[in-house]
Amino acid sequence: MPDFQGECGAMPGRYNFPPEELQRRATLASELKKKSKAKRAAAGGAEGAGGAKKKTEEKKKVVVAAPKIDFAAKRREQMNRRYFILGTAAFTGAMAVTAAGTQRFMFPRLLFEPPSSFDAGKPDGFLQGQPTFFKEFRTWIVRTPDKIYALSGRCTHLGCTPAWLAADQKFKCPCHGSGFRMTGVNFEGPAPRALERFKIWVEGGRIQVDMAKMFLYEKGDWEKPESYLVV
C-alpha cells in the first residue's frame, strides 16, 4: 500500500486521517443524506395527504352546518300550530258557555217585582184639595168634596212624573209641560189623554189600591164604582 502521507503530504488538523477512514466517513455522510432526504419526502407526503384530508373534512363540515331549509314544511307546521291553538280556545269558550248555561238552568234567576197593590192608610188621613204622593208606587191619592181616587203618577206623554202645583191647582209635567187638572184630565201640553186611575177600595177601615187594574177616562171607566170611593 503506498504511503498516503508521502504522496499527498501531511493533512493538517482534523483531515489528517488514513484513506480508509476518509472513505468510511464519506460513505456514512452519503447514507445520512439519503436517509434525511427520504424522511423529508415522507413527511411532505404525509403533510400533503393530511392537508387534503383536512380540506375534505372542512368541506363536509360546511355542508353539514348549512342544511337545506324546507320553508313550505315550516309554514305548514306554523299553520297547524295556529289551528291547534285556535281550536283549543274555541273549545274552551264553548265549554265555558255550556257550563254557564247549565249553572243558570240549575239556579234560575228570580225576578222580584214590587207588589201591584198597597195600603194607602185611613180615609180621614187625606185632606181635600191636597193630593198625597206615594213615591214608591208613583201614585197620587186625591180627595175631592165627594170622592177619593188614585191617579197614576206617569204622564201619558212620555212617562215623566207630574208634580202638583198647589197655587195653580193642577198637575204639571216637568219634562214637556203637559198639564192635568186635579181630576187627572189633560188640558195643556203634548199629553194625548188623561192620567189613569187605579182600583181603590176600603178594607178594615183602610184604603187599598191595586195598580194592576186601571180605568181610562176616554173609555168611560171613571164612572165605574171601583175607580173611586164615595166620602
Buried b or exposed e, range 1-28, using 16+ CB within 10 angstroms? eeeeeeeeeeeeeeeeeeeeeeeeeeee
Distance in angstroms (rounded) separating the CA atoms of residues 190 and 199: 26
- Is 226 in contact with 215 (CB distance < 8 Å)? yes
- What pLDDT, on a 0 to 100 scale, did the predictor assign at position 108? 54
Instruction: Please tell me the distance from the alpha carbon of residue 10 to that of residue 13, in angstroms, as a whole number.
Output: 10
In total, the chain counts a number of residues equal to: 231
Per-residue pLDDT of the chain (231 residues; tens, 9 = 90+): 444 444 444 444 455 677 788 788 888 888 888 888 777 777 666 555 555 566 666 655 554 555 666 677 777 777 777 777 877 888 787 788 777 666 665 655 555 566 889 999 999 999 999 999 999 999 999 999 999 999 999 999 999 999 999 999 999 999 999 999 999 999 999 999 999 999 999 999 999 999 999 999 999 999 999 999 998
pLDDT computed for residue 1 by the predictor? 44
**What's residue 142's pLDDT?**
97
E-strand stretches of 78-205: 117-121, 132-134, 139-143, 147-152, 163-165, 170-172, 179-180, 186-188, 197-203
Mode of pairing for the β-strands spanning 170-172 and 163-165: antiparallel
Q: Which residue has the cell 427520504?
A: 38
Note the pLDDT of residue 6: 43
Contacts of 222 (CB under 8 A, 6+ apart): 197, 215, 228
The CATH classification number of 117-230 equals: 2.102.10.10
> 158: how many CB neighbours lie within 10 A of its CB?
12
| Positions of E strands within the chain | 117-121, 132-134, 139-143, 147-152, 163-165, 170-172, 179-180, 186-188, 197-203, 206-215, 229-230
Residues 222 and 228 sit within 8 Å (Cβ to Cβ): yes
pLDDT at position 14: 52
Q: State pTM to two decimals.
A: 0.53
Q: Specify the DSSP class assigned to residue 2.
A: -
- How far does CA 177 lie from the centroid of its chain? 47
